[in-house]
């Protein structure tokens, strides 16, 4: 099987999915990336950071909050430690307020302080119509995709110093909607509004709040939440003709995390969407 993303075959996993079972394997280790020490001395808490985009953006000293994907989380910790950084793994369901509070507290207790919060955890379940979405699914999607962002940010603000940063993961679906992902797209639109509003609230503290809204990205979320036949050829609809790898998206997070590079950026939604253009 080629690593070309247009060659993604039909496949299915149980949620939340495992990187090692994906064909082709995603590029998410930033193996050819050469850092410039812009995050040296910083401590980051990344939710949903066990694989995919969360793994690729890991830098500095990192606490990784994840659901239950122990093997992926341990591999991520190995990558962080191989780069000479400290890693802390925090297992729990971030769709609960207590787990979010615990994740922040354990980060500060283990790594001493907190400078960067990356809200990246997400859930989706495609449905063909609004009538097919149960109240349980709607509430689960909101708890994971937007409630956790609120809980994490509120708790983190107790520790984030002036001049720190919060980065939220949105989606192209939050910019233009998606007929088969109504609840997911709605939460991602909420992430954008949350980002704009929080940026305004925190500007006096010089805490920059931005979002990244990727197009199709080949992560475990895809084969673990989509029917196998929809996974086949995933990303081929993008103008560039393929899905991104997490490594293609990770530099957006590094840019927004670095005050040297993005000091004048707050309340922005950076959209690496593979050539798709939208009105507005």
pLDDT in tens, 238-278: 999 999 998 899 889 989 999 989 999 999 999 999 999 88
pLDDT digits (tens, 9 = 90+) for 168-227: 999 999 999 999 999 999 999 999 999 999 999 999 999 999 999 999 999 998 999 899
Does 9 fall in a domain? no
The pLDDT of residue 3: 45
- Average pLDDT on 126-144 reads 97
CA dist 180 and 20 (Å) reads 27
Does 10 fall in a domain? no
**Signed CA dihedral, 165, 170, 171, 172: sign only:** negative
| Confidence band, pLDDT 50/70/90 cuts, at residue 57 | low
Does 114 fall in a domain? yes
Does 279 fall in a domain? no
The pLDDT of residue 143: 98
- Average pLDDT on 106-135 reads 97
| Confidence band, pLDDT 50/70/90 cuts, at residue 41 | confident
The range of the structural domain enclosing residue 141 comes to 37-270
The number of domains in the chain is: 1
Does 31 fall in a domain? no
Does 120 fall in a domain? yes
Contacts of 274 (CB under 8 A, 6+ apart): 215, 216, 235, 238, 239, 240, 242, 243, 244
Does 17 fall in a domain? no
Q: Residue 4: is its pLDDT beyond 60?
A: no
Higher-confidence residue: 54 or 228?
Answer: 228
The pair phi, psi for residue 89, each rounded to 5°, is: -105, 130
pLDDT digits (tens, 9 = 90+) for 63-116: 999 998 898 899 889 988 888 889 999 999 999 999 999 999 999 999 999 999
**CATH number of the domain encompassing residue 191:** 3.40.50.720
Active-site annotation holder among 66, 123, 184, 253: 184
CA dist 142 and 227 (Å) reads 21
Q: Does the pTM exceed 0.75?
A: yes
Does 277 fall in a domain? no
Check if 184 is active-site: yes
The pLDDT of residue 119: 97
């Amino acid at each position: 099987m080629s690593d070309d993303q247009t060659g993604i075959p039909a496949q299915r996993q149980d949620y939340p999915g495992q990187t090692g079972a994906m064909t082709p394997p995603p590029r998410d280790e930033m193996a050819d990336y050469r850092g410039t020490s812009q995050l040296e001395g910083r401590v980051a808490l990344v939710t949903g950071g066990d694989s995919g985009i969360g793994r690729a953006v890991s830098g500095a000293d990192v606490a990784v909050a994840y659901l239950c994907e122990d093997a992926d989380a341990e591999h991520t910790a190995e990558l962080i430690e191989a780069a000479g950084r400290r890693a802390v793994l925090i297992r729990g369901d971030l769709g609960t307020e207590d787990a979010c509070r615990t994740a922040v507290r354990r980060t500060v207790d283990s790594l001493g302080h907190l400078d960067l919060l990356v809200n990246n955890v997400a859930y989706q379940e495609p449905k063909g119509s609004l009538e097919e979405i149960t109240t349980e699914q709607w509430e689960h999607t909101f708890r994971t995709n937007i409630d956790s962002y609120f809980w994490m940010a509120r708790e983190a603000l107790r520790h984030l110093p002036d001049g720190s940063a919060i980065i939220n993961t949105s989606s192209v679906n939050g910019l233009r909607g998606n007929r088969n992902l109504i609840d997911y797209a709605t939460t991602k639109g909420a992430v954008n509004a949350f980002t704009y509003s929080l940026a305004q609230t925190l500007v006096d503290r010089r805490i920059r709040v931005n979002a990244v809204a990727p197009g199709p990205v080949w992560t475990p979320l895809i084969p673990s939440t989509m029917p196998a036949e929809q996974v086949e050829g995933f990303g081929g609809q993008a103008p560039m003709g393929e899905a991104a790898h997490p490594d293609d998206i990770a530099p957006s997070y590094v840019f927004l995390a670095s005050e040297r590079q993005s000091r004048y950026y707050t309340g922005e939604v950076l959209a690496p969407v593979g050539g798709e253009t939208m009105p507005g």
